[in-house]
Amino acid sequence: MNFDLEFVLVVGVFLTGVIWLLDARWWGPKRRKLAYEAGLSGSTGVADEKADTSIAPWYVEYARSFFPVLLVVLLLRSFVAEPFRIPSGSMMPTLLVGDFILVNKFDFGLRLPLIHTKILPIGEPQRGDVVVFRYPRDPAIDYIKRIIGLPGDTITYDGNKLYINGKLVETKAIGRFPGEGPNHLMGGATVEQEDLPRRNGTVVKHDILIIPGRPVPTGTVVVPKGEYFVMGDNRDDSNDSRYWGFVPQKNLVGRAFLIWFNWDFQDGQADFHRIGDLIH
């Protein structure tokens, strides 16, 4: 069973907000009236706020304390940025196991919590963006990959060669991946720099991992309207669009842009050199 923090936050904000509102409009005034009638208001005839606070039920006190905190967290998480942890190596060498990242939630438009309906269009994903999305086969699971194909693109993957709209995406070998700690399984893989073209004429230069000789799928697809073709930077060890298809726009969560921490759960060590690295 997956823990849905967004659902918990929405329910928490709703319940604490309702309790706070009921207390402000009805329960509180009733308590102050009873306090006055009981002679707790003093000689001025005005209800004593301290007396009101002391007899407020515990759930009212909790609602007063938690409502603003939960509301701020929900707004930040829904419309500004959301943290995620990288649990697998499908995005090596760009992202490593143990990286904690921040995801920009407003680049692709503001969406309502839970129902994810877009309420304010702001921008559209670009080829080369590293994005978090809800896995199409199980939306309760979050995936992170790189956008390779935009709506209308023709994508051909032939072994380790990638073609976009009939043009080969250029790569060059730059070394070997060290594969330390929890990333040791990819040690020795070839690191290549890939020049991924964008529609505006610029190029996104990023590194990918290749394991020579490992079988990989081959095929050609046309990306449907409103959907995206994604791949992991760890090209030979990534469960991505080559295997299960496209990502609908409604499943996009946001664009990954920053590594804010790294913690190796296996060895219990942090890699402080990765803190603050931008994700390209």
Same-domain status, 205 and 221 = yes
| 130 and 51 within one domain | no
Supply the CATH number for residue 179's domain: 2.10.109.10
pLDDT band at 2 (very low <50, low <70, confident <90, very high): low
DSSP state of 24: I
Looking from the CA of 79 toward its CB, the CA atoms found within 13 Å total 13
pLDDT, one tens digit per residue, over 146-162 is 999 999 999 999 888 99
39, 62, 79 - which closes a domain: 79
The answer, yes or no, to whether residue 101 has pLDDT greater than 60, is yes
Identify whether residues 97 and 226 lie together within a single domain. Answer: yes
Same domain, 191 and 115: yes
Let me know whether 74 and 86 are in one domain: no
Same domain, 38 and 172: no
Q: Are 190 and 208 in contact (CB under 8 A)?
A: no
Measured CA to CA, the distance from residue 171 to residue 160 in angstroms comes to: 10
In-domain check, residue 279: no
Query: 215 and 112 in one domain?
Result: yes
| H/E element, 201 | none
Pair 25, 122 in one domain: no
- Contact yes or no for 100/169 (Cβ under 8 A): no
Residue 261 main-chain phi, psi, to 5 deg = -170, 160
**Any domain includes 280:** no
Are residues 25 and 57 located together in one domain of the fold? yes
Residue 163 lies in a domain: yes
Domain that residue 148 falls in = 82-274
Decide if 24 is inside a domain.
yes
Calculate the CA 204 to chain-centre distance.
21
pLDDT per residue over 219-273, tens digit each? Answer: 999 999 999 999 999 999 999 999 999 999 999 999 999 999 998 777 777 888 8
Residues 154 and 39 in one domain: no
User: What 3-state DSSP class applies to 154?
Assistant: strand
Q: Are residues 174 and 111 in the same domain?
A: yes
Task: Determine the average pLDDT of the residues in 9-14.
Answer: 95
- DSSP symbols for 237-275: S--SHHHH--EEGGGEEEEEEEEEEEEETTTTEE-GGGT
Final residue before a domain boundary, out of 51, 79, 107: 79
Q: Report yes or no on 122 lying in a domain.
A: yes
Does residue 231 fall inside a structural domain? yes
Q: For residue range 42-96, what is the model confidence (pLDDT) as tens digits?
A: 544 444 444 444 478 889 999 999 999 999 999 999 999 999 999 889 999 999 9
Q: How many domains does the chain have?
A: 2
Q: Which residues 6+ apart lie within 8 Å of 125 measured at CB?
A: 108, 131, 147, 150, 228, 249, 252, 255
Residues annotated as catalytic (active site), given as ranges: 90, 145
142 within domain boundaries: yes
Query: Which is more confidently placed, 120 or 219?
Result: 219
In terms of average pLDDT, the best of 4-18, 113-127, 266-280 is: 4-18
Residues 57 and 191 in one domain: no
Going by pLDDT thresholds of 50, 70 and 90, the confidence category of residue 28 is confident
Domain boundary among 47, 79, 111: 79
Report helix, strand or coil for 225: coil
pTM for this model (two decimals):
0.85
